[in-house]
Amino acid sequence: GENVEQHPSTLSVQEGDSAVIKCTYSDSASNYFPWYKQELGKRPQLIIDIRSNVGEKKDQRIAVTLNKTAKHFSLHITETQPEDSAVYFCAASMNNQGGKLIFGQGTELSVKP
């Protein structure tokens, strides 16, 4: 089955710097790649997603890139702010699998003021 690897497990940046989190997936049939943010004590919430027919997607300070050939995708956060501090999860999914998402191990991002 699908396997998703996420790096790094922890990331500390200064406010205003950029942060990059990387994920690789194993099954070339995967075609949907969401990113979730989980603040302390709260539920994971979708922040951005990308489908396999697109190479890049941007929403204000966050962007996601996808390289289907290499089977990896990345989350980019620019101009980080303290409220970006959270655990971020990448996931992969494919059609005809009941919508199931396979998640990476998570990255704990800390943005220092």
Q: What are the residues binding other proteins (CB under 8 A)?
A: 1, 6, 9, 31-32, 34, 42-46, 49, 89, 91, 93-106
Output 6 or 80, the one with its CB closest to other proteins: 6
Output 43 or 83, the one with its CB closest to other proteins: 43
- Cis preceding linkage at 8, omega within 30: yes
Q: Closest distance between other proteins and the C-beta of residue 74, in Å?
A: 17
Q: Which residues contact 58 (CB under 8 A, 6 or more apart)?
A: 64
Strand 32-38 to 19-25 pairing: unpaired
